Amino acid sequence: MKTYKLGVVGDPISHSLSPKIHNLFAKRANIKIEYEPYHVLTSNLDSFIRDFFDDGGSGLNVTLPHKIDCLNSVDDFSPIVKKIGAANTLTRLRDTNQIFADSTDGMGLIKGLMEANINEIKSDILILGAGGAAQSIIHDLQTRAPRVIAIANRTKEKVKPVVSRFPSIGL
């Protein structure tokens, strides 16, 4: 059975529950993984990502503050990453050996809402924060056409670029 080398990269990283969650899931699914947290400074991010995948890494989750800067280290992006300018998942594509960036926060939220029988289409939605995860969530929520999507953030300046990416959202 193949062992997959996986991890989460961030600065700081000690707060992340990803290793515990992913290792528990892998054990229950009978998948062999090595999922580790990696504390990486922004100045070392590009070399870390390239070395991780060159050393046999299969995938990385990306957390603060690297969701935007990680895009400098990849070869290709999903359409959502092209739109929002941030990623939370990096993988090595088997057929091309390229590093691929994606954003899965929005689809994860939609799936969770559906499993909980929460119909966001008839809802008014408030999103706290305007970072990469929020933008991924907004993108996927807009495809479901809820009544209202509102964003609350500590600084109005950080909300303005989000509104420009998603014009139907107001400040």
14-26 burial: b if 16+ Cβ within 10 Å, else e: eebebbeebeeeb
Contacts of residue 116, defined as CB under 8 A and 6 or more positions apart, other chains included, come to: none
Contact assessment for residue 11 and residue 39, using Cβ atoms and an 8 Å cutoff: yes
Q: How far apart are CA 171 and CA 29, in angstroms?
A: 43
Contacts of residue 117, defined as CB under 8 A and 6 or more positions apart, other chains included, come to: none
2 in catalytic set: no
Active-site position among 67, 82, 122, 160? 67
Point out the residues that are catalytic.
67
